[in-house]
Structure 1
Amino acid sequence: MTVSTELLHTLAPAGTLRASINLGNPILARAQPGGAMPYGVSVDLANELARRLGVGVQYMVFDAAGKSAEALKQDIVDVGFVAIDPVRGEGISFTSPYVLIEGCYLVRQDSPITANEQVDMPGIRVAVGKGSAYDLYLTRELQRAEIVRAPTSPTVVDTFVAEALEVAAGVRQQLESDCTRFPGLRLLPGRFMVIQQAMATPKARPPLAVDYLVRFVEEMKASGFVQESLARHGIEGASVAPPRD
């Protein structure tokens, strides 16, 4: 794909690609010990995009998806990696998804809840990561259960345990990891949603920028780049999204 001067000024106006990286979702990115450069599929995509544009990359790292999305809305980053959601769409332009992730529920081993359909009941309190894709989704979908918001997605199960809540909601891989930290927990079968992770840019950016990112993501999926990145980082519980219609 040709990179024109106009496109470069549109996607990287500061001369460096400023990429919002969310460490709140371990499928997308993780922190290195000692504060070194983050790593993961979103970091790999940011690096490849910067390489193609012929510019350096600056990572703006956040511990929650809501904060990463807010940086996009405020136009203080050039690209980001967040889940597609209509609420976020008010200030963000999305590509089609590059990765699909399962949103699941977690309960205690002795909980009477055995199925996803039993969660939305009076007296049930559900821990979610504030501003996460599943927070936005469950805020719309749950009619009778109460939502309790943890500061970030990685602290959902900590909040669930500390406040003796009935259910925790999150990304399957994160919840499975938390089960090793807190014995006596189990995931409910299946999933309550599929989280569509996409690249994004501030809504204020011209269509030229969005069109380029859309084509970039489709090429990264079709070429095997996304699949190879997930495999290299040992990511399970996520799949490459299908081609755009």
Structure 2
Amino acid sequence: MQTKNIIVALTMIFIISLAAKAESLTVCVPDFEPWGMTVQGKVQGIMLDHVVSILNEVKIKGVADFANYPRMIQRLRDGDCEIGVFSRYEKNADAVEFIEHVYDLQVVVVTPKDVVIENYETFHDLKRIPSIGFPLGGDGFFVKLFNDPKIVKSMVPTQQHGVMMLANGRLGAFVGIEKTIQYEIKKNNFEMKINFPGLKVDKLEIWLQVSKKSKKAMALVPQLRKAAKDLKKNGTYESVINQWVSARP
């Protein structure tokens, strides 16, 4: 019993030591506006602001790591970046620690201004909706529609591309995150071209996550969880999102 207590004590000392040395963590920032972007070489965006707000609570500096979404998820798995806020995918549970649910994002289907989605069968009307766009990595946005063999599905590089293609008549509908689409419509003055907010179809759970390969991040999990909960209660996440989406780029 005494030996066991010594081992436990040494383990706790090791964890505390790691936490003390964790002066900074690498923040995973995906390349899609307004969640992540570069402006004059500087990484900015909602996701970075959210994670930095959490890290500030535990007095840890955040250093941005920037890449496209699929690559960023892989970098989190590999430990090349250490912490981020992303959708929760159970297939990543072997490599990623899901710390805390921080907020939900609404998924919508938007169409050209003159097309209204009356019910699900509208998606099968190829005269009105000849093709439906999904962003790469967006196969979980509206699974029923994504897997529907009766639609013509078009994969686009990003949500920005999807909104642009819809406004230019190259898509009959587009599936994406409501706040992202709202931001892009406002940025490009597409208010008269796109029927927004469209049809609300699903929600994505966004979780604070760390790479299991990062000893520094894993040692800070209890503190990070508490900070994430506190910021959820005081409305920080919603406030940051609204500031970015309401401000004209």
* Contact kept? 1:107, 1:188, Cα under 8 Å: no
2:161 to 143, 150, 155: 155
* Contact kept? 1:94, 1:210, Cα under 8 Å: no
Shift of 1:90: 5.0
**TM-score normalised by structure 2 residue count:** 0.72
Count of aligned positions = 225
Shift of 1:172: 1.6
> Identity over aligned residues, as a percent?
10
**TM-score normalised by structure 1 residue count:** 0.73
| Unmatched runs of 5 consecutive residues or more in structure 1 | 237-245
1:168 paired with 2:174, answer yes
1:9-158 map, 5 Å: 9=18, 15-26=23-34, 28-31=35-38, 33-40=39-46, 42-62=47-67, 64-89=68-93, 91-111=95-115, 113-115=116-118, 117-118=120-121, 120-121=123-124, 123=126, 125-132=131-138, 135-139=139-143, 142-144=147-149, 145-158=151-164
Per-residue CA shift, 1:92-135, capped at 9, x if unaligned?
A: 22233222221111112333x52352355385532121114xx3
The whole-number CA distance in structure 2 between the counterparts of 1:167 and 1:203 is: 38
Helix, strand or coil: the match of 2:49? helix
Helix, strand or coil: the match of 1:158? helix
* Contact kept? 2:110, 2:199, Cα under 8 Å: no
Which amino acid letter does the alignment assign opposite residue 202 of structure 2? M
The whole-number CA distance in structure 2 between the counterparts of 1:164 and 1:174 is: 19
* Contact kept? 1:129, 1:170, Cα under 8 Å: yes
| Unmatched runs of 5 consecutive residues or more in structure 2 | 1-11
Shift of 1:43: 2.4
Helix, strand or coil: the match of 1:136? coil
State the Cα RMSD in Å.
3.4
1:198 to 198, 207, 211: 207
Higher CA-based Rg: 2
Structure 1 residues 67, 122: CA separation in 2 closer, same or farther (over 3 Å shift)? Answer: farther
Helix, strand or coil: the match of 2:231? helix
The whole-number CA distance in structure 2 between the counterparts of 1:152 and 1:8 is: 41
The whole-number CA distance in structure 1 between the counterparts of 2:120 and 2:28 is: 35
* Contact kept? 2:112, 2:167, Cα under 8 Å: no
Helix, strand or coil: the match of 1:18? strand
